[in-house]
Amino acid sequence: MRVIAVSDIHNHITSIDLLKAQLSWADVVILSGDITHFGHRRDAEPIIEIIQKSKKTILAVSGNCDHPDVEDFLNVRGIGIHGQCRVLDGVVFVGSGGSLPAPVGTPNEKTEKEIANLLEDGIKDAPADLPLILVSHQPPYNTKADRIFNGSHVGSRSVRSFITQYRPVICFTGHIHEGIGVDTLGNTVVVNPGPLNGFHVVRADLSTNPPEVEVISLKMK
């Protein structure tokens, strides 16, 4: 299975044009939240429709800058995995949208307890004998993915605890725009491509052991 993961589109529809080559390569497209920029369902819909034209399987969670009705829309389209699990070709995907409270206040925020509960809801029906992938808009605490401009770590301890307990193969995340890169937490690869208008995307080939995971630059035409 080949996966591309995109995060923090923030309504930059024109940036999606840069994904054409990657969409052709991928079997599955992961959207790790902040599809809109403080937007609603009507703002998310044209973005999702553009990506769905690729005919690839899409799995998505909302971000803290998406209003709650965006999550409802993802579920209606059959691509939402917030607090849910999905099994594709022998791989389990569990998702968690939203984020911890942000300094400026955003429309889709969770407490650590709420994040922990959502993750437990997602994993409870997951087959234990299959490899696990976590899609979390909020990155785990104390990794490259959650480090902000001043060097502080602002990730979730609940996401970190989930990773420590359930040991997913990969955690696809986003939210922290400057937290671009690949890190490891135990045997879990934690990867944040940063915002799409920063022209990066994650490519992961799950057919290799261990999976090949990298953040690649999207070349502008």
- Could you tell me what percent of the chain has a pLDDT over 70? 99
- Enumerate residues 6+ apart whose C-beta is below 8 A from 120: none
**Position 91 pLDDT exceeds 70:** yes
With cut-offs at 50, 70 and 90, classify the pLDDT of residue 95.
very high
**Is the pLDDT at 220 greater than 70, yes or no?**
no
Question: pLDDT-based confidence at 18, cuts 50/70/90?
Answer: confident
Q: What is the mean pLDDT of residues 18-42?
A: 95
CA–centroid distance for 29 within its chain: 10
Q: Hey, what domains does the chain have and what are their CATH numbers?
A: 2-217 (3.60.21.10)
Q: Is the pLDDT of residue 77 over 90?
A: yes
Region 138-145: what's the mean pLDDT? 98
Report, as an integer, the average pLDDT of 20-44: 96
Instruction: Taking residues 114-135, report their average pLDDT.
Output: 97
pTM for this model (two decimals): 0.97
